[in-house]
Amino acid sequence: MPSGQRTTTVIVGAGQSGLAMSRHLADRSVDHVVLERGVVANSWRSRRASLRLLTPNWMTRLPGFAYTGPDPDGYLSAPQLARLISGYGEAAPVLTGTSVTSVRRQATGYLVDTDQGPWRTSSVVVATGAAALASVPAGLAAQVPAGVVSRTAADYRVPSDLPPGGVLVVGASASGVQIAAELRRSGRPVTLAVGEHVRVPRRYRGRDILWWMDAAGVLDDRFEDQPDPERARNLPSMQLVGSAGDPLDLNALNHLGVRLVGRFAGVRDGCAQFAGSLANVCALADLKLGRLLDRIDGWAARASVEAGRPDRPPPTLVPAPVLSAPFGGDGIRSIVWATGFRPDLSWLDVDVFDRRGRVVHDGGVTAAPGLYVLGMPFQRTRRSTLIDGAGADARELTERLTRRLVLAA
């Protein structure tokens, strides 16, 4: 068996996180290679064309790069972002079309096997992100009648992807509310199953909500300071859409004619069953929204920021409970699972996982010497979940990685 090529660091994944890490390592003159199974920005190229970032363009920042286009307050589409990241990565040592099949510890580092041959390295940065695979609750999906068409938010592209008739959208975070609205506007009956969600307005006091969260330091809240850190890492994404128009919250969906129900709980006698918790989860989301806006208002007063009136979104109007709905016929004929995403680390053969199969890390540093992860939700701060957080997280990991290299020299 060939000994393989050698390098100091292997980065797996050429998205924004992997390329940010590459830029910082290059600045430190650390020899490295970036392995990408597809092409640069592969995950963004596979998203539906109508998808837009939830962050305004001015927040599209990476090490050595900041958006300077004509629309700083707009929202990039997935194809636009893919082109931007591709241009950013042109100078990086990326090997595309190279799938990593396993990463294993060796006496002096790691053996990274790929379909193009092995690499030997002293450190590995896993930068494939947290959204490689759609996360569908297997127990629920198994109960759905055979004739009902199922799609995930990753698979869905346009309403015509689905058969005529009613649609159940499961999940009311960013993807769920966007898909529910699009399907309803196409003329279909839509039921939205709502669980825990994070309600925020698109704009507040005359500015984008993310301007406030950035300026007030909300996005810099640290992981270790959270009352329940693990829960903080698993919260749903913010209920936002990439548009400066009217907000697309549950009130707006209700007005569109989307039927709001509680969490999808199971199937009985050919009917979808919904939890009676809709009022409670909406009240909790409204409460958390109030706390966020209180914090913003407090910071604005202390910083003497000139802003518009603190007009707050009205409470969520909760409709009368609906506890079941029939499948088939004139009922629900298809389901879109907007239930989030998860990493695909099936090729990582290193003991760094908890009993649920999640990587255990401290700000991206695992218990395995020289093995790091990047691009995870709330990796170090709230900002970690956004493209804007990739640079700071990569800089921190570069510090940790180079410090280890110096000590090992």
pLDDT digits (tens, 9 = 90+) for 97-117: 999 999 999 988 999 999 999
**Amino acid present at 297:** D
Q: Please state the CATH superfamily assignment of the domain spanning residues 5-132+343-408 in this structure.
A: FAD/NAD(P)-binding domain (3.50.50.60)
Query: Tokens 């068409």 sit at which residue?
Result: 149
Domain boundaries, the chain: 5-132+343-408, 157-335
Residue 2 has pLDDT above 60, yes or no: no
pTM for this one?
0.94
Q: What is the pLDDT of residues 168-216, one digit of tens each?
A: 999 999 999 999 999 999 999 999 999 999 999 999 999 999 999 999 9
Q: Which pLDDT does position 1 carry in this prediction?
A: 37
Q: What is the pLDDT of residues 301-342, one digit of tens each?
A: 999 999 999 999 999 999 999 999 999 988 999 999 999 999
**Amino acid present at 42:** N
Give the pLDDT mean for 57-71. Answer: 95
Q: Which pLDDT does position 399 carry in this prediction?
A: 97
Q: What is the pLDDT of residues 209-264, one digit of tens each?
A: 999 999 999 999 999 999 998 888 988 999 998 887 778 899 999 999 999 999 99
Q: Which of 356, 125, 139 is nearest to 233 (CA)?
A: 356
Token pair for residue 97? 């079309």
Kindly give the interhelix angle for 16-27 and 78-88, rounded to the nearest 10 degrees: 20
Query: Tokens 């009613």 sit at which residue?
Result: 166
**Whole-number mean pLDDT of the chain?**
94
Q: How confident is the model at residue 407 (pLDDT cuts 50, 70, 90)?
A: confident
Contact 21, 394 (CB under 8 A): yes
Which of 42-46, 100-104, 111-115, 276-280 is predicted with the least confidence, judged by mean pLDDT?
Answer: 42-46
Enumerate residues 6+ apart whose C-beta is below 8 A from 142: none
